[in-house]
Structure formats: structure tokens, C-alpha cells
Amino acid sequence: MATTLGIDGLALKARVRGILNRHPAVGLAVGVVRNGGLEFFYGHGLADIASNSPVCEDTVFRIGSITKTFTAIAVLQLWEQGLVDLDVPANDYLRAYRLVPAKAAHRPATVRQLLTHTAGLPQLVNPSSRRRARRVGARLQLPDVRGSRRRSRCRRLQQWSQECQGVAGG
């Protein structure tokens, strides 16, 4: 049962079931959308336990913090098309409201800074200045996580980051 995407629906369902065996979920929906249309859908479990309603194509899920990933994907797609410059003040693109710096001395937040959650942080390193980067790097006391209990946490964060990149197509 291959779709026009070359997706084997049975294989994809089997893969989802395998993931659910390792990470159980009350309700889950997997969809593949192409050219504005739903090409593949797999619903698992219940949308509402109280009413025993199954997950279907119309089930609404709370999206939570994953909106950050979707927003970043959309902005980077606009950047790829040359419609957004990541290094200009974000206010250049805002119409309904303005971002106001916490201090008058702070530079306006750029789109890149908003995407990386670094707006408002002082710029310690100028990437074009290697000498300054070495000087600043020498002053920073970064913890060595090798062999420490932080190591597993770092691995989990790295894995999460890679999963987000997978969602983004990276």
C-alpha cells in the first residue's frame, strides 16, 4: 500500500506501533500532508477517555512547546526564499506591536536572537574577531561534563535537539 510519496502505509503503521511499544500513549495521530492534502493518517488510542472517543483525523491536540519548532521552521523557510533576513531587527517585520529593549543601551533584538532565545543577552563574542573570542573564552569557566552525572543529561538534550532537527527536515 504505497502512496504517491513512496510511503508504505503498512510499514509506517508498523513503525508507529513499534514506537508505541517502547513509549506508550493514550492517544496519538500521525499524518503526512502533501500539497495541502492528507496523504496518510494513522490514529491510535483515545481522544477522550471519558467518552471513549477514538483518535481520528479531526481530533484536536494541544500543541504545547512544539510551536517553537514550527515557528522556527516557518521562519527559516522564509529565510531560504530570501523573504526574511535573520540578522535585522525583528521590529522591521512586526506591525501589531514593537519589541522594547530592557535597557536603552541594548541593541534591538534580531530575528536570529528571537529564534535562539538570546535576545537581551550581551554579545560577548564577535564571530569575526578570533582574538577577542580567545580572550573571552579564556575568561569563561565552562564545566567539563565528561565523566560526570551531567553527561547523561547532555546526551538527552542532544537527542532531543536531533529529534527537533528531524522534524525540521535537517
Domain extent at residue 14: 9-61
pLDDT in tens, 37-55: 888 899 999 999 999 999 9
Which residue is catalytic, options 51, 53, 65, 161?
65
Same domain, 53 and 80: no
1 in a structural domain? no
Judge whether 101 and 108 are in contact, CB under 8 Å. yes
pLDDT of residue 131: 52
80 in a structural domain? yes
Q: What is the DSSP letter of 129?
A: -
| Counted domains in the chain | 2
Judge whether 53 and 73 are in contact, CB under 8 Å. no
Active site residue 65: yes
Tell me which residue of 69, 59, 67 sits closest to 25, measured CA to CA: 59
pTM over 0.85: no
35: left (phi over 0), alpha (psi -120 to 50) or beta: left
Same domain, 80 and 163: yes
Same domain, 55 and 106: no
